[in-house]
Amino acid sequence: MIRIVDFFLKRTKLNYSLFLILILAGFFAYGKIAKDVFPIIKIDKIIVSGFYTNISNDALNKMAVIPLENELKALDGIQKIESYISQGSFTIVLTLEEYSNEAKVLDKTKNIISNAKSDLPSDMKEPSAYTTDWKAPLLNVIFSSNSVSKDKLITFADEIKNKLLLLNNVSEIILFEDTKKVFEVIFDNRKIELYNLDKNILFEEIKRLSNIFPIGQIDDEKESYFLSNINGKKSVEAYLNTLLKIDDKTIYLKDISRVEYKRNEEKVISKVNGKSNVQLAMYKNNKADAIILAKEVRNYVNNLNQKHQNINISIIEDSSVLIKNRLNTIVSGILFGLILVSLALYILINKRVAFIVVLGIPTAILFALVFLSFTSYSINMITLIGVLLILGILVDDAIIIAENIQRHIVLGENKLQATKEACKEVMLPVLASSLTTVFAFLPMMVLTNELGQFLILIPVSVVILMIASLIESYIFLPIHALHILKKEDKELDWSKALNFYSSFLHKIIDYKKTFLLLFIVLIPLLTIFLASSMKYNLLPEFDSNEINIDGSFKKNTKVNETFEKSKIFEEILLKHKNELFIKTISYGVGYKVSEDDFTLKESFFNFQLELYDKKPENFMEEYISPFLALNKDDRKKIRVLSDEEIIEKIKNLFKEHKTDALKTLTMSKAETGITDNDIEILLSSKNEKLLNQASKEIEQKLKEIKGVGSVNNNTKLGTKELKLKLNSYGESLGFNEEILFNSLRPSFSKSVQNKGLNKEGIFDLISYDENKDDINMLIAYELNIPNTNKKIFLSDICDFEFKNTFEFIEKINQYEVKTISANVNNKIITAIETLDLLNTTLDKYKKLGVKIMLEGEKEQNDRMLEEMSMAFLLALLLIFFTLLLLFNSFRLSFMILALIPFSFLGSLFGHLILDLNLSLTSIIGLLGLAGVVVNDAIVMLEFVRHSTTVEEVITRAKLRLRPILITSITTFLGLISLIFFASGQAKVLQPIAVSLGFGLLWGTVLTLVFLPTFFVLVFKIKKEK
């Protein structure tokens, strides 16, 4: 290593040229790397989905899901099978084991589906299988007009959708409307019976009204011709005037039905701030830079507005604005930390040392960006907070090297020689301390699942930055020191601090046995007491600008009825918009939108509320961040209520307008997306009565616990299944299930009879009876008796059997489960405390035979704490081997390792001072602290280990007082903005900074006082005689 330092010290031009090239490469890499709020989280999964109309969940489960599950469970590489069945559709989610071959499993899954096709209904489309592609919401484009009809707006929006899909890195665009048009033949059963028509013949005639298949081809001597029909009639009038020949009767279609040409069905209603609109939801892929892509869309929308002045096109829920604002906040925190570190170095050493040390920070960051550009990672809040966490640590190496070079220069040595000797003197301890920092964070890269992927960028950032810092410290810093540092530079007088430290350490060493005994007993006891008295939750909550309200009415509510019943909630929100600090109200009926899913259901309604930003709560937010922001921040920051307070106000406003028809109403704010709910309790039992009893009791117990909100379960009854059982009289007349199916389906199912072609493309020809939803019509429905001209009522030949079914079926590894979910207010009660209160109830039902599985935070906590424990042990092992390599001594190595558990007390006090719960990110901070706290200890022991007397130990320890205090102070200052001024999503990672910062401050006391005293005792160092 010293040869590398010597090589670059002698080649000044090469050194500076390389320095400049790497800086330019860093700026180029910054422009190339995608920007996002949070990192990409993608677990390898294969989705199998299918659809079959007018079927109960139970029948679909038996017909399609169970046979597929039986085959899929035999596949290698499958970790978990989850199945969801609702409203005639099913989804089977195959979670793959780590390192499974996704493409190979997908091919085998498709083969299984293909082989199962023969056992499925002939008119059911073959289920599809596909891998999950990562996507994230980008923005929503809304179209509204006072003069253009909704039908034309939908057509226009569909055209724009197809053009926007051509933009690079757009993964999906959802149009919240059905664009497909159909001809609907709506029968009047009374008229059919009045004409005494044979319904079976009638329905067959309707099927023959259109045909899109080619007839053939004629190759005449003069010319060739493709032969075809006109592919169906093109207008409502043409269909109405169609003549039908049924037995000996000839009638017009208009005599027994009406015909409509329209969009398949209006199943969605969308409004923004009280105005009706048509809406496009855009999603981006993992390669997209949200800021650049959103800018392209905005430019395109601006051009559209100029061309189509009768249509208002605007953008809402633009994620790029959030990304820019959050990146601004973190970057300003980094710059503020940089300024504080610079001032500290200027005061504690001198201006020249401060300059070359601080120069290394942005240099190392730019070098790290070059490395990052060769990976698939983005610049996001986790990446930048990783920089913020390591900011103060980055300068440690540079401070130790620069301070030592300055010390040698002050002693009068030749500058070139002083630089070489100073670098050589601290090379091993600096390299070892850098490695211990890397080794503390490195094991975190093996964390799995969603949370592991969410947090992996912290160790990635730390490792890349530490490597970049080492390069800067050993290649570029020495030459900067050679050309900039001077002997005559005035330095801060440390004599008083050194004398006080010397005197204090003397007194401690005089009573070393008493001191160490009290220390070793009291510190662990105090640490255990604090840790056991503090609350724990998976991740800290943060104030969000987004609130989601999801509701639903009884299962058979039509979309227009849902709109009429739910619009009172829209009126309330519009009326109280200002006092609730709501910027945008997006109101949707007929669908539900989640982070990565879009579910159509006519009884659903939802509100997505975008809030104004909160007013600045400290001088950092009010003055520092806006001043240091990279991009101008023109947001209106007027909100004085937290998101939780706004949710409570909305609940109170909605309370008096809830009706029995309203089945669910939940409110939630934007979260990290690691878990859908804080608490998820899954119940499974073959005893349906016991299962329902357990579900109801657990749900009620949760609702009674203070601090628990939004309790839901999926055990609600769905649409009843009405089974037609042929009686013996019906069978004697020649009826069978096939005849019943063919006779009833065209009237009671909006089934596609055939397809046609017009100028807009393929259309469906659909038929049904106008009274299809009237149960009395079914009972009095007349059927043709097979092989006769006689008719009979359905009720005379069939017994009607009614069966209750659940609205939703969820299965895990083929076991049907009922899920109870809830979210908690962590300021009142945590998920762990809530589950502790439920233990008695859960244990009761476990003993009765109900299988209970806990997911949500509990599942993530159990898995992550197990993995974090392994990561911690691996980190200790790597640090231990590094110390053995450096010192070749078990005693010295274990002395330094002993500081790690003792330093945890500082971290716990930090959480106590800032009133923070312990969380997973607190534990990550402790893991990082294990590497950081040993850095100063390495430098201290490297200097004192050859001492033979107490006086020599104290003299050598005094030489390390200044660099140890300086590195600790600068590290803490680098973290100060995240410790005290975290806001928004940054609060999720605040506990890491608190653990590191306060742990390091206490670790500095341990290094300066405990470590020398312990060294004297262990090695039996005596005073001079």
Tokens 């005599």, residue? 255
- Digit-coded pLDDT (tens) for 400-435: 888 888 888 888 888 888 888 888 888 887 888 888
Note whether 478 and 612 are same-domain residues: no
From the list 628, 609, 631, 607, the residue with the least C-alpha distance to 619 is: 628
Residue 213 has pLDDT above 70, yes or no: yes
Q: Average of pLDDT values for 959-976? A: 86
What is the SS3 assignment for 545? Answer: coil
What the block records as the tokens of 557 is 């509510």
Interatomic CA distance for residues 161 and 158, integer angstroms: 5
Winning range, highest mean pLDDT, from 434-438, 489-493, 898-902: 898-902
817 domain residue, yes or no: no
Residue 884 has pLDDT above 60, yes or no: yes
Q: Average of pLDDT values for 816-834? A: 85
Interatomic CA distance for residues 658 and 655, integer angstroms: 6
Cα separations (Å) of 8 from 4, 13, 20, 22, 77?
A: 6, 9, 14, 15, 52
Final residue of a structural domain among 133, 162, 191: 133
Per the CB < 8 A criterion, the answer to whether 685 and 850 are in contact is: yes
What the block records as the tokens of 645 is 């307070």
From the list 309, 297, 294, the residue with the least C-alpha distance to 161 is: 297
Final residue of a structural domain among 761, 786, 803: 803
Give the helix ranges, DSSP H, for 312-350. 319-348
Q: Average of pLDDT values for 556-567? A: 86
Its pTM stands at: 0.78
Q: Average of pLDDT values for 615-631? A: 79
Cα separations (Å) of 123 from 47, 51, 59, 126, 213?
A: 22, 11, 16, 9, 18
Note whether 907 and 960 are same-domain residues: yes
Residue 393 has pLDDT above 80, yes or no: no
At 265, is the pLDDT very low, low, confident or very high (cuts 50, 70, 90)?
low
Q: What percent of the chain has pLDDT over 90?
A: 17
- Backbone φ and ψ for 732, nearest 5 degrees, come out as -65, -25
What the block records as the tokens of 102 is 């996704």
Give the helix ranges, DSSP H, for 140-218. 150-164, 189-194, 199-207
Residue 469 has pLDDT above 70, yes or no: yes
Residue 595 has pLDDT above 60, yes or no: no
pLDDT at residue 594 in the model: 60
Number of other CB atoms surrounding residue 949 within 10 Å:
14
At 161, is the pLDDT very low, low, confident or very high (cuts 50, 70, 90)?
very high
Residue 499 has pLDDT above 60, yes or no: yes
Note whether 571 and 486 are same-domain residues: no
What the block records as the tokens of 569 is 């909630």
Residue 73 has pLDDT above 60, yes or no: yes
Mean pLDDT score across all residues of the chain: 85
The size of the chain, in residues, is: 1025
Q: Average of pLDDT values for 937-952? A: 87
pLDDT at residue 904 in the model: 94
Interatomic CA distance for residues 660 and 56, integer angstroms: 24
Choose the weakest-confidence range: 645-649, 745-749, 801-805.
801-805
- Between 799 and 384, residue with greater pLDDT: 799
pLDDT at residue 673 in the model: 60
Cα separations (Å) of 921 from 207, 466, 533?
A: 63, 21, 18
- Positive or negative, the CA dihedral 860, 861, 862, 867 is positive
* Beta strand segments in 656-788, E: 662-669, 679-684, 708-713, 721-726, 751-758, 761-769, 782-784
Interatomic CA distance for residues 67 and 63, integer angstroms: 7
Q: CATH no. for residue 761?
A: 3.30.2090.10
Interatomic CA distance for residues 348 and 497, integer angstroms: 12
Q: Average of pLDDT values for 817-840? A: 86
Note whether 397 and 488 are same-domain residues: yes
- Digit-coded pLDDT (tens) for 677-735: 888 898 888 888 888 888 888 988 888 888 887 788 777 777 788 889 999 999 999 99
Cα separations (Å) of 292 from 24, 174, 285, 318?
A: 21, 21, 13, 12
Per the CB < 8 A criterion, the answer to whether 70 and 412 are in contact is: no
145 domain residue, yes or no: no
- Backbone φ and ψ for 200, nearest 5 degrees, come out as -65, -40
Note whether 370 and 490 are same-domain residues: yes
Q: Average of pLDDT values for 473-484? A: 87
- Digit-coded pLDDT (tens) for 303-355: 999 999 899 999 988 888 878 877 787 788 888 888 888 888 888 888 888 88
Residue 598 has pLDDT above 70, yes or no: no
pLDDT at residue 268 in the model: 77
pLDDT at residue 1 in the model: 64
762 domain residue, yes or no: yes
Note whether 652 and 765 are same-domain residues: no
Note whether 516 and 427 are same-domain residues: yes
251 domain residue, yes or no: yes
pLDDT at residue 488 in the model: 74
Note whether 592 and 472 are same-domain residues: no
Per the CB < 8 A criterion, the answer to whether 805 and 716 are in contact is: no
pLDDT at residue 74 in the model: 86
Interatomic CA distance for residues 901 and 273, integer angstroms: 55
837 domain residue, yes or no: no
Number of other CB atoms surrounding residue 249 within 10 Å:
12
- Digit-coded pLDDT (tens) for 84-137: 888 778 899 998 887 788 889 989 999 998 888 888 877 788 899 988 777 788
Q: CATH no. for residue 924?
A: 1.20.1640.10
pLDDT at residue 257 in the model: 92
pLDDT at residue 597 in the model: 56
What the block records as the tokens of 913 is 């001072």
Cα separations (Å) of 528 from 499, 524, 904?
A: 35, 6, 10
CB-neighbour burial class of residue 576 (10 A; exposed 0-12, middle 13-18, buried 19+): middle
903 domain residue, yes or no: yes
Note whether 461 and 417 are same-domain residues: yes
**Region for 810 from its dihedrals, namely left if φ exceeds 0, alpha if ψ lies in -120 to 50, beta otherwise:** beta
Note whether 797 and 906 are same-domain residues: no
- Digit-coded pLDDT (tens) for 281-299: 899 887 888 888 999 999 9
Domain of 245, in residue numbers: 181-213+225-263+720-803
Note whether 451 and 397 are same-domain residues: yes
Choose the weakest-confidence range: 192-206, 538-552, 588-602, 659-673.
588-602
First to last CA, the chain: 41
- Backbone φ and ψ for 129, nearest 5 degrees, come out as -130, 135
pLDDT at residue 378 in the model: 81
Winning range, highest mean pLDDT, from 109-113, 149-153, 396-400: 109-113
Q: CATH no. for residue 103?
A: 3.30.70.1430
Interatomic CA distance for residues 602 and 561, integer angstroms: 9
53 domain residue, yes or no: yes
pLDDT at residue 1025 in the model: 62
833 domain residue, yes or no: no
| Total structural domains within the chain | 4
Note whether 77 and 6 are same-domain residues: no
